[in-house]
Structure 1
């Protein structure tokens, strides 16, 4: 007969075993998904001819992309570079190769990948799962979303199933198939870490963040949900070491397919454009504009002649929603506007001087390249405000025209005081203070003298043509 201690130990063992079995039962099974999806995942390699001037007279190669690396890393890469074949006539010729992934979206051979995988390529080779290689034709690229559409010749090719990226949930299992470091059809899995992420260099892609292991060579490959549907294109990683660190970013398929459809139909991509410069609304700005909580996109600049200007948007407006979709972070606005067709109508819910307003704006087409505003320079009539600790001068007529301003003052000198503490510099242009437009130096001095104490005050500043709102408090 078991003792009480033995019986308790046996019971504990059964409970622990049950927990292990339950935990194992809860883990997803990927084998069937991989078997069905892998045939449609391809390896992509490119060849690019490097101009002969890159080769030096003694046959050594300069590597511009390595110039910023520490000496030990440069020496490693240069030591391991393949020998350069000598061309007829004594010159040298080089070919660069890149390696990435992609996937087939139609049985007649359309392939999606990243733009950076095939950028500047003279030849694109697609290797299928049966090891056959086909030369691909570039249908079109969209650098803004980092999507490229290729076409290979074939019939009844294996294809992936396309899913809806908007249905993804944070915490959901996802899986990637690609060619990291050239290892074809490598499979890695993880979960969705976040949705709608904005990266500094990408304003029009609401990235899916995952902790799926992504490395060089995975770029352009598919991200699957557990139903075996592609929900994203693996595009970027955040790293300090050059390798995987648990932060991977994928382009949502809703964005990628919209780009692919436009590239197939028109060879280029058109995006909606509002014509504003926006910034985040933090706690202090929310208080200064009379908002209950930080939310929305603060309009720091309205471009002359743009859709926003024609629709009545003004500097200082806080955009809270577009077509009923809330703007929680300022980065949500470019994502929503970019998906709208040029010429379509949009309803904006804004806060202006503490009151809610609705505006109808006709969306424009995003220009190919933005125009930089002119820099400020020139003399003026000097005024000063000891309250903020700055000396300002009025803008000349030429400066107002160059900056597209009706008024404003430029900081000539920053003294000890609040201005120095909040980082203002000589050359900054102040156009609004405490939600009031500054047309002259006299107005600036009057408004500055009446600023409230111990309450967040906003100031609109142009620095090198870029406008933003900053906040500060004047102590008792």
Structure 2
């Protein structure tokens, strides 16, 4: 009985030590990651408020290229209001507005590549094109609920719960075309996470806790009831596009990473 008790204590101690190690790794990695994280939205010089945030992005390559989701991009800009596609760099009251242009998009994989004006940002390193193992510890940093919490990046952590097929939803049957039907027959694989993302987290880099290498891009959350309930009743199930699909977009537009 005493031997069993000692073994239980030892196992608990080892488990606790491992947990502390993971937190220490994340704290160190986060210091390197945060300067690369940006908010994606629209700047309206004549508006009140002037800035609106649709999602999150992160710097790659030479530091002037920004990755985010396709669905985060504004559908149209009001020229009469001088609206501009914008990337918000920094945090809190020190955040700056940078003009951005769209370099390329992939509606199929819900990815977009932007280029910002001005000085380059610290760039995140991309992981290899192979899928990482289920059970791997990961984290993502972004702006949940847009600007409601202020321009202060928030970090969530979890594991790769599954590598699973996905399909891109459409609003109605009239939106379905031949290309979409082909994708329904052959859906691509994405990461399913046991971490909770919120509106505004779309476009966040999913990264390895130890190395900080980007392994995917957060793109949607499983909704239990309605879109309005995603904040009050989050499902805790989040999906991310593997970085292997981002490489296709970068090669297409000859962007070095």
Shift of 1:207: 1.2
Match in the other structure for 2:12: 20
Match in the other structure for 2:96: 132
Match in the other structure for 1:228: 212
Is the Cα–Cα contact under 8 Å of residues 205 and 251 in structure 1 kept in the other structure? no
Deviations along 1:119-157, whole A, 9 cap, x unmatched?
314222211235222111111222121111111023442
Shift of 1:231: 0.5
2:66 aligned to 98, 111, 114, which one? Answer: 111
TM-score (norm 2): 0.74
User: Which structure: larger Rg?
Assistant: 1
Is the Cα–Cα contact under 8 Å of residues 42 and 127 in structure 1 kept in the other structure? yes
Match in the other structure for 2:126: 162
Segments of 4+ moved more than 4 angstroms? 11-16
Alignment partners' CA distance in 2, 1:121 and 1:228: 34
Match in the other structure for 2:230: 242
Shift of 1:33: 0.9
Alignment partners' CA distance in 2, 1:177 and 1:39: 11
Alignment partners' CA distance in 2, 1:39 and 1:121: 29
Q: 1:261 to 1:45 in 2, by over 3 A?
A: same
Is the Cα–Cα contact under 8 Å of residues 108 and 168 in structure 2 kept in the other structure? no
* Residues 1:209 and 2:192 aligned together: yes
Alignment partners' CA distance in 2, 1:156 and 1:97: 23
Q: 1:176 to 1:108 in 2, by over 3 A?
A: closer
The alignment of Structure 1 onto Structure 2 pairs a total of residues equal to 214
Deviations along 1:420-457, whole A, 9 cap, x unmatched?
xxxxxxxxxxxxxxxxxxxxxxxxxxxxxxxxxxxxxx
1:181 aligned to 133, 141, 145, which one? Answer: 145
Match in the other structure for 2:174: none
Alignment partners' CA distance in 1, 2:18 and 2:59: 31
Question: Which range is displaced more, 20-29 or 224-233?
Answer: 20-29
Alignment partners' CA distance in 1, 2:34 and 2:15: 27
* Residues 1:34 and 2:30 aligned together: yes
Deviations along 1:19-77, whole A, 9 cap, x unmatched?
332111222131111111111111112258xxxxxxxxxxxxxxxxxxxxxxxxxxxxx
Match in the other structure for 1:147: 111
Is the Cα–Cα contact under 8 Å of residues 104 and 158 in structure 1 kept in the other structure? yes
2:160 aligned to 192, 212, 219, which one? Answer: 192
Deviations along 1:63-119, whole A, 9 cap, x unmatched?
xxxxxxxxxxxxxxxxxxxxx98xxxxxxxx99944210000122401010011113
Alignment partners' CA distance in 2, 1:16 and 1:129: 46
* Residues 1:260 and 2:215 aligned together: no
Deviations along 1:255-295, whole A, 9 cap, x unmatched?
01212331457xxxxxxxxxxxxxxxxxxxxxxxxxxxxxx
TM-score (norm 1): 0.41
Across the aligned residues of Structure 1 and Structure 2, the Cα RMSD in angstroms comes to 2.7
Greater fraction of residues in helix: 2
Alignment partners' CA distance in 1, 2:124 and 2:13: 33
